[in-house]
Amino acid sequence: MRFGGFVNWILAPQGYNAPAFTQNAMSEQSIFTRIVSGEIPCYKVYEDECTFAFLDINPVRPGHVLIVPKIEIDQFFEVPEPYYSAVFATAKKLAPAIREAVGSVRIATVIAGFDVPHFHYHLIPADSLSEIDFSKTKKIEPAEMEKIRAKIASRVD
Ligand code: 5GP
């Protein structure tokens, strides 16, 4: 495996329910790999061969989405193709859908990764820069999360 220690798990493109894995036996799966494989539930808005997108459980604002590549790599600059470009292609697809679904001026994007060491691209609806404040996240009731999820998912081609 060319990426050695950086790669813990690779999910097969058709991945969600019947993933094929390349495993580094020394490593634990990330919470996001477990979400992609269906082991942990999520509010999924989109999935394709290389990426998986779902609502952030602690949103900065309603409609806050995370896009992850179906390969477990920590730092974004170490994510190989085709996964790297696929994340940004998915962002381009989802941003207008999120903006329309929740009504925001812009879709801000953030790459941080201080919490989960599996690259994820935050898409955050915002009306001003001051709204992008990770110290002011707010949980949303499951029924409302499902409504937001459905609104976004129904607007994605
Ligand atoms: P970061 O690693 O970029 O600092 O942030 C990780 C993000 O993942 C946080 O915004 C956090 O709310 C989100 N997150 C962490 N665990 C889960 C989870 O189990 N489900 C979902 N949907 N989001 C999660």
pLDDT tens, residue order, the chain (157 aa): 333 334 444 554 443 333 333 344 445 899 999 999 999 999 999 999 999 999 999 999 999 999 999 999 999 999 999 999 999 999 999 999 999 999 999 999 999 999 999 999 999 999 999 999 999 999 999 999 999 999 999 999 8
pLDDT value at residue 10? 54
CA–CA gap between residue 153 and residue 90 (Å, rounded): 12
CA–CA gap between residue 7 and residue 44 (Å, rounded): 24
Choose one of 57, 73, 114, 140 to mutate for the ligand 1 pocket test, by most ligand atoms within 8 angstroms of C-beta. Answer: 57
81-126 tens-digit pLDDT = 999 999 999 999 999 999 999 999 999 999 999 999 999 999 999 9
Question: Relative to the CA of 120, which ligand 1 atom is closest?
Answer: 3
The burial class, CB within 10 Å (0-12 / 13-18 / 19+), for 95 is middle
CA–CA gap between residue 72 and residue 81 (Å, rounded): 13
Residue nearest to atom 19 of ligand 1 (CA): 31
Question: Relative to the CA of 64, which ligand 1 atom is closest?
Answer: 10
Determine the CATH number of domain 41-153.
Answer: 3.30.428.10
Among this protein's residues, is 64 annotated catalytic? no
Domain ranges of the chain: 41-153
Q: How many residues does the chain have?
A: 157
pTM as predicted:
0.87
Q: How far is the CA of 2 from the centre of ligand 1 (A)?
A: 28
pLDDT value at residue 21? 35
Q: What residues flank ligand 1, with Cβ below 6 Å?
A: 31, 42, 54-58, 66, 112-116, 120
Beta bridge partners of 22: 10
Choose one of 29, 42, 76, 115 to mutate for the ligand 1 pocket test, by most ligand atoms within 8 angstroms of C-beta. Answer: 115
pLDDT value at residue 157? 82
Residue nearest to atom 3 of ligand 1 (CA): 113
